[in-house]
């Protein structure tokens, strides 16, 4: 299939699509209906090797030394072309993920050209230099020459496939690297469609390659273990990220890992309750809870606990599950039946522990057209201890546990009582408290009275089981380059 519509989703190697092999393929399922959307050509070890070889050759043939202004101009043309073919990307993203078309338009696909433009600007901004004073009134000029890392393996997840793909590919290309992309087997379409865009705007053959498949014993393992890659950037589960680190460790390749989260919201009793409810509804239920930044733990000061609990449950019941192509739909399915089974397993654990279900807790009935989809009800609990698995472990669904607290110190302790450290949000009308509590959170990103608000130039990442390294702005450029410091005595 070309561009993610039709029967086949194909691999893209050395500037061209690869003819699919009927004997090495798998089904791409629409999670809203459970029906087959397309077949995907699974890359074998030999095809992955061809992709890495093509990427290495593209670097040698001149991409690595292409002036940054030319690379930046190409990225801006790619952004323009994505916007020209915007609805094609929307259609592919909706079919792959089942997410509502409104979200795909406003968030997922809209962020792709923004990623390309942001990193075009950042890469063109220049490099650091320092003038050092020496004894005797002399000086030395130190400056860093940043060179491409080389061939980068880009492994992206299924929850925000195009957004996270371009978040990694844009800075990698801006820095002069060649990439081999392994999209999730659940959501392969837009990675293949992006290959058309980059070819149309003049990216040399071999600079962008796509290999489809699974993890162990498939394209993911073949790529991350390949001896000729120079680095790996991975977004996905903490368990898989740990395996990626093991795979690359013997060759000491740099790794950037953006992993899972068990994110907390801390709501103080001086907050505007309606504003907090609006923010919490987004942070718990956006993308059916399938965002690493989503909130699964909500700590509420006792004086307003009932107001927040009842208000959030009411808003959850107001979410509209249904046809992803209906503009009125707010909430789509989970990505797969297997993931729905995982989320439903936590429903059972919470029930066994005596949790009060404020809303949800089951599988909705949405009619015959959507009966085969991977649907789950938005769910809220109270009455769970901070030690319960549903409060400790990442669920990655439209769920949250609400827990009361009395003091600021208690809230900070509860929020930080986790192995994860990706994000947190603090809700208060006391600006000093907001600064104080946000800085006390052991996370990579702490929001005050907002959620998911991003400046793409700012560093992004997590601590603990939430990852290693930072992406965004200059942080991305630092990962995708190797500096050579040049010191010249003047």
- The pLDDT value recorded for residue 124 is 84
Rounded CA gap, 81 and 112, in Å? 11
With the C-alpha atoms ordered 246, 42, 195, 92, is the resulting torsion angle positive or negative? negative
Closest CA relative to residue 386, chosen from 296, 463, 288: 296
Active-site residue list: 258, 292
Where along the chain do the CATH 3.40.309.10 domains lie? Answer: 263-455
CB 329, CB 400: distance < 8 Å:
no
DSSP SS3 for 456: coil
- The answer for 221, left when phi > 0, alpha when psi is -120 to 50, beta otherwise, is alpha
The CA-to-CA distance between both ends of the chain, in Å, stands at 60
Q: What are phi and psi of 388, to 5 degrees?
A: -70, 145
* Structure confidence by residue, pLDDT tens digits, 106-158: 999 999 999 999 999 998 876 677 788 888 888 999 888 899 999 999 999 99
DSSP SS3 for 409: helix
CB 100, CB 323: distance < 8 Å:
no
Task: State the Cα torsion 206-208-214-219 to the nearest 10°.
Answer: 20
- The pLDDT value recorded for residue 131 is 84
- The pLDDT value recorded for residue 127 is 66
Please state at what angle helix 161-174 crosses helix 189-200, rounded to 10 degrees: 40
Q: Which CATH class is domain 263-455?
A: alpha beta
Rounded CA gap, 108 and 94, in Å? 10
- The pLDDT value recorded for residue 132 is 84
- The pLDDT value recorded for residue 315 is 98
Rounded CA gap, 192 and 45, in Å? 19
With the C-alpha atoms ordered 477, 478, 483, 489, is the resulting torsion angle positive or negative? positive
Q: Record the tokens describing residue 211, joined without a space.
A: 């290999």
Residues 6+ away with beta carbon under 8 Å from 357: 350, 351, 379, 380, 381
What is the number of alpha carbons within 13 Å of residue 29 lying toward its C-beta?
17
The pLDDT averaged over each successive group of 10 residues in the chain (490 residues) is 63 97 94 95 98 98 96 98 98 97 97 97 80 87 91 98 98 98 98 98 98 97 97 96 93 94 98 98 98 98 98 98 97 98 97 97 95 97 98 98 98 98 98 98 98 95 96 94 92
- The pLDDT value recorded for residue 135 is 87
Determine which helix (DSSP H) or strand (DSSP E) holds 400, and give its type and residue range.
Answer: strand 399-405
With the C-alpha atoms ordered 465, 471, 192, 396, is the resulting torsion angle positive or negative? positive
CB 319, CB 285: distance < 8 Å:
yes
Q: Record the tokens describing residue 149, joined without a space.
A: 């890392």
Residue 105 DSSP class: I
Write down the number of H helices and E strands in the chain: 16, 23
Q: Which CATH class is domain 8-259+466-489?
A: alpha beta
DSSP SS3 for 464: strand
């Amino acid at each position: 299939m070309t561009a993610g519509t039709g029967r086949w989703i194909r691999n893209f190697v050395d500037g061209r699509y690869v003819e699919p092999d009927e004997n090495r393929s798998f089904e791409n399922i629409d999670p809203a209906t459970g029906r087959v959307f397309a077949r995907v050509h699974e890359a074998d070890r030999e095809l992955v090797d061809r992709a890495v070889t093509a990427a290495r050759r593209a670097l040698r043939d001149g991409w690595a030394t292409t002036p940054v202004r030319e690379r930046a101009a190409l990225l801006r043309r790619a952004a323009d072309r994505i916007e020209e073919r915007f609805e094609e990307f929307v259609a592919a993203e909706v079919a792959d993920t089942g997410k509502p078309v409104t979200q795909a338009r406003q968030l997922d696909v809209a962020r792709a050209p923004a990623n390309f433009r942001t990193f075009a600007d950042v890469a063109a901004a220049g490099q650091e230099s320092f003038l050092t004073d020496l004894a005797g009134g002399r000086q030395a000029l130190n400056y860093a020459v940043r060179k491409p890392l080389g061939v980068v393996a880009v492994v992206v997840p299924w929850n925000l496939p195009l957004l996270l793909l371009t978040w990694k590919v844009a800075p990698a290309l801006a820095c002069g690297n060649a990439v081999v992309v392994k999209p999730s087997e659940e959501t392969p379409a837009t990675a293949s469609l992006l290959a058309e865009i980059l070819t149309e705007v003049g990216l040399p053959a071999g600079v962008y390659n796509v290999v489809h498949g699974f993890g162990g014993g498939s394209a993911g393992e073949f790529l991350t273990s390949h001896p000729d890659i120079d680095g790996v950037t991975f977004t996905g589960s903490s368990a898989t990220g740990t395996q990626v680190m093991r795979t690359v460790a013997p060759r000491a390749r740099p790794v950037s890992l953006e992993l899972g989260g068990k994110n907390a919201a801390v709501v103080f009793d001086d907050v505007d309750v309606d504003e907090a409810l609006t923010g919490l509804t987004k942070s718990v239920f956006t993308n059916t809870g399938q965002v690493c930044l989503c909130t699964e733990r909500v700590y509420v000061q006792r004086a307003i606990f009932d107001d927040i609990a009842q208000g959030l449950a009411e808003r959850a019941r107001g979410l509209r599950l249904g046809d992803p192509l209906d503009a009125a739909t707010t909430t789509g399915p989970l990505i797969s039946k297997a993931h729905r089974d995982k989320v439903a397993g936590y429903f059972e654990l919470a029930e066994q522990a005596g949790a009060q279900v404020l809303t949800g807790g089951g599988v909705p009935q949405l009619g015959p057209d959507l009966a085969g989809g991977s649907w789950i009800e938005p769910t809220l609990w109270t009455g769970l201890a901070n030690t319960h698995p549903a409060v400790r472990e990442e669920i990655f669904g439209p769920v949250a546990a609400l827990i009361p607290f009395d003091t600021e110190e208690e809230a900070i302790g509860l929020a930080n009582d986790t192995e994860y450290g990706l994000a947190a949000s603090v809700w208060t009308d006391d600006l000093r408290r907001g600064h104080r509590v946000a800085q006390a959170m052991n996370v990579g990103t702490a929001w005050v009275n907002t959620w998911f608000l991003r400046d793409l130039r700012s560093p992004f990442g997590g601590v603990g089981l939430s990852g290693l390294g930072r992406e965004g702005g200059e942080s991305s450029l630092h990962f995708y380059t190797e500096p050579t410091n040049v010191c010249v005595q003047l």
